[in-house]
Structure 1
Amino acid sequence: MKLLVIGATGTLGRQIARRALDEGYEVRCLVRSQKKAAFLREWGAELVPGNLCKPESLPPALEGVSAVIHAATARATDSLSIRQVDWQGSVNLIQAAKAANVERFIYLSILDAEKYPKVPLLEIKRCVEHYLAESGLNYTILRPCGFLQGLIGQYAIPMLEGQSIWVMGTASPTAYMDTQDIAKFAIQALKVPETENKSFPVVGSRAWSADELIQLCEKLSGRDAKITRVPIGVVRFTRQVTQFFQWTWNIADRLAFAEVIATGKPLVAPMDETYTAFGLDPSDTTTVESYLQEYFERIMKKLRELDYDKQKKQKKKSDKVDKQRNYPRF
């Protein structure tokens, strides 16, 4: 089966492409920059130039394709807006996939998108879900809510570098999941008829609060965290400021997501039905504890090795100085 992956250079998209290749699929990736996507070609994927916001570039990318996995979203720093990429780009892709008679369409949305009509990204995701369901395509919608990979930059690295961990006071606990596991569900959806024309949550086994994550990182690293708590009012003010400038609209729309976090309601969902439908074993899913433990064990070992090398070099330098001092002069 030939598979087209959209958003393959992103945190989740690259794991989907990797998983598909590992399972023997013929993978094609729609990319805006061949240079940034060079690693995908090295893995064995076919790269085709294209842009969701340029409908004319999509039919060539879809030629001979049996299935599409759509994991693209606008980045905060993109020149294109969320509305252009996540809405119009998705509509363009769905229409092109329909015209190309694509057999399966997997869409990565966000958990509870329908509950927040005032948050631009979530409202757009909800609208795309509805548009896809009405398109006539054979679809599956997956709804994650947070990636384990994001915890490294948000919690682990600041702690190791002695910097502040920024936490919103009322942040909602979140059921994070490893992007590799989400990719497993995306590829499995292609094989299981029970997942057709349905939506599924794809989240971790439990929701973790910021304080729980900080305590876990402290335990695993043996270090104390510096915490800076940010009131929601500051985030709201920042969003208002960024809305004044066109080049910061994406940032403003992303900051609106703080309204979801500020509710304090856990971002989590039952996964029993999902695991049953996909035929996957919950025990094979990476937990927050195991993911962070593996990270800290690896990084702490590296830090010890670097410290040892540093001490060794200092000792050699010191020994050299001592020899020079004791060397007889004529």
Structure 2
Amino acid sequence: MSGGTPVRSTSILVVGATGTLGRQVVRRALDEGYDVRCLVRSRPAPADFLRDWGATVFNGDLNKPETLPGALVGIHTVIDCATGRPEEPIRRVDWDGKVALISCAKAMGIQRFVFFSIHNCEKHPEVPLMEIKRCTEKYLVDSGMNFTIIRLCGFMQGLIGQYAVPVLEDKSVWGTDAPTRIAYMDTQDVARLTLTALRSDKSERKVMTFAGPRAWTNQEVISLCERLAGQNAKVTTVPVGVLKFTRMLTRLFQWTADVSDRLAFSEVLTGDDVFSAPMTEMYSMLGADPKETTTLELYLQEYYSQILRKLKDLKAQSKQGDFYI
């Protein structure tokens, strides 16, 4: 590739750009002056917001390898945030699609590949998604490309629909009595640290874990939501044994095999694992300030403050309307 046309180091392709993490990576990269291209599947609702932000959108699909080379022309770095949709077989995107992307990137001389994985994925070969992540990590390392693998624990954004909204709307909150602890991070912080790592030579050919300031059990998250919302939650506890039995049952039928794979991941989150990692050395290596990382308390406090303020305004407008009627 030494005789090829040089590309700017600021030219990046974000795969999975419309997802929870991908859109934050796109936004942060644009704010920092990168030329961002997004690989997006054709769909009824176009990703116009990406264009509005200033990114270039390229229609392609990891399930269609023939669409990938065009997206990689003139690209220096690939940041892979993609994952399969809930209705898709896990293997289709998260393995077949990723192998196609990595192979194509290597063939076209991409100079940096950033891949997002799951913390402790090598410890759970019985869980299809985590085993696929481990195998993809190995495939990327063995490819000989210049890589950065970032393992993640959990996103704060996922807690809004799972806990924060049901508590506020007085609906059932589903949880288990398992002692699993997860160090959630705001996806904006993940994006910020990812771009910081991209500028650092020290992160090249490294496997890193990004974790939040503290690991939480689901019971602790529910209690925090109750305190911030000012009301008690209707908690429905699902015994771990029920999840295991359901997974065993769904494995008996071919048409429910993918459901079983996803339940396997749920089982990991109902064990006694701790999805966290010390970050002191990581912050030091990247030259980042740990005080800039959002805590879960602050994240949920800001969410509830905004929501409760809107509800208060709506109530005031309603009372004003009643007066005139």
Tell me the TM-score normalized by structure 2: 0.93
Deviation at 1:245, TM superposition (A): 5.8
Q: What is the aligned counterpart of 2:90 among 74, 79, 82?
A: 82
Gapped regions of structure 1 (runs ≥ 5): 318-330
Residue by residue over 1:61-99, the C-alpha shift from the partner in whole angstroms, topping out at 9 and shown as x without a partner, is: 000000000011112123xx2111101111111111101
Q: Which amino acid aligns with 1:61?
A: A
Structure-1 residue corresponding to 2:23: 14
Gapped regions of structure 2 (runs ≥ 5): 1-9
1:94 aligns to 2:97 (yes or no): no
Structure-1 residue corresponding to 2:264: 256
Q: Rate the CA distance shift 1:245–1:36 in 2: closer, same or farther, 3 A.
A: farther
Q: What is the aligned counterpart of 1:306 among 314, 322, 325?
A: 314
SS in 2 for 1:30: strand
Tell me how far apart the structure 2 counterparts of residues 233 and 171 of structure 1 sit (CA, whole Å): 14
Aligned residues: 315
Structure-2 residue corresponding to 1:293: 301
Q: Is the 8 A contact 1:51 1:57 kept in 2?
A: yes
SS in 2 for 1:76: coil
Deviation at 1:238, TM superposition (A): 3.1
State, as a whole percentage, how many aligned pairs show the same letter: 53
Tell me how far apart the structure 2 counterparts of residues 247 and 180 of structure 1 sit (CA, whole Å): 37
Structure-1 residue corresponding to 2:128: 120
Structure-2 residue corresponding to 1:233: 241
Deviation at 1:242, TM superposition (A): 4.1
Q: Rate the CA distance shift 1:49–1:302 in 2: closer, same or farther, 3 A.
A: same
Q: Is the 8 A contact 2:243 2:267 kept in 1?
A: no
Structure-1 residue corresponding to 2:114: 106
Residue by residue over 1:176-218, the C-alpha shift from the partner in whole angstroms, topping out at 9 and shown as x without a partner, is: 0000111112212221000000011101011011111111111
Deviation at 1:251, TM superposition (A): 3.2
SS in 2 for 1:5: strand
Tell me how far apart the structure 2 counterparts of residues 182 and 159 of structure 1 sit (CA, whole Å): 26
Deviation at 1:246, TM superposition (A): 5.5
Q: Which amino acid aligns with 2:84?
A: A
SS in 2 for 1:256: helix
Q: Which amino acid aligns with 2:56?
A: E
**Quick check: 254-263 or 58-67, which moved more?**
254-263
Tell me how far apart the structure 2 counterparts of residues 244 and 29 of structure 1 sit (CA, whole Å): 39
Residue by residue over 1:113-142, the C-alpha shift from the partner in whole angstroms, topping out at 9 and shown as x without a partner, is: 000000000000000001111111100000
Q: What is the aligned counterpart of 1:131 among 104, 128, 139?
A: 139
Structure-1 residue corresponding to 2:67: 57
1:185 aligns to 2:184 (yes or no): no
